[in-house]
Amino acid sequence: TRRGLPEAILADGKTPDETATLAVAAVETSGRALVTRASPAHAEAVADALPECDIDRDARAKTVVAYDSPFERPELDASVAIVTGGTSDAEAAGEAAVVLREMGASVERIEDVGVAHLGRVLDHLDTLREADVLVVAAGREGALPTVVAGLVDTPVIGLPVSTGYGHGGDGEAAILGMLQSCTVLSVVNVDAGFIAGSQAGLVARAVSDARNSE
């Protein structure tokens, strides 16, 4: 598969049937299929179409992974921390976590640390500093990646989340804030947990390869 990424299917906008057909093809080609933004109906159609597969479903992340029986996940010698500001960030962050797990990275979750409560951020400083790369999700004003990046030496990928209402709602303030950050960040699109996780995975793989090149 390209760039070591799992074959992924974005269920949203496809019928359960279309999704299942694409998942079957992905399992045939690569031994695994990762379905994102899957409703219960999508999840069921995939499981039904792949009765021989092991199925891993994460309802909060809205992902389904189907594995051919003999499938063996890669293993990377590198770790990624995923940080979120609140429960509304769970879906996007969960998507990132699943793709990272499939790429073989060690994943650490740090939840419910928000910029309005600096103490909670500071409590996790050690974990934040031990990771090789960070994905930091935030909605509303999206300031968390900026605050975190000021505390660590590792690359931070900002993941804006579509929370917030009114002017600048739906993640618009969050993505603009991350693009304007006064620290160093790179950014993905609003709710693009799969992209944030994959990019973090590519970095983790580069680190892992370097660690194991002799």
Ligand X SMILES: Nc1ncnc2c1ncn2[C@@H]1O[C@H](COP(=O)(O)O)[C@@H](O)[C@H]1O
List the strands of the sheet with 63-67, edge to edge: 8-10, 32-36, 63-67, 54-58
CA dist., res. 50 & res. 59, Å (int): 19
**Partner residues linked to 85 by β-bridges:** none
Contacting ligand X (CB under 6 A), which of 20, 33, 37, 175?
A: 37
If the CB atoms of residues 95 and 132 are measured against ligand X, the closer one turns out to be 95
CA dist., res. 82 & res. 198, Å (int): 12
The answer to whether 195 contacts ligand X (rule: CB under 6 A) is yes
Residue 9: name its binding partner from ligand X, a second copy, Mg ion, none (Cβ under 5 to 8 Å by kind).
ligand X
The answer to whether 38 contacts ligand X (rule: CB under 6 A) is no
| Residues from 69 through 98 that contact ligand X (CB under 6 A) | 86, 88, 95
**Cβ–Cβ < 8 Å for 20, 48:** yes
CA dist., res. 34 & res. 28, Å (int): 13
Residue 178: name its binding partner from Mg ion, a second copy, ligand X, none (Cβ under 5 to 8 Å by kind).
a second copy
Smallest separation, CB 22 to ligand X (Å)? 6
Smallest separation, CB 29 to ligand X (Å)? 12
| Residues from 18 through 77 that contact a second copy (CB under 8 A) | 18
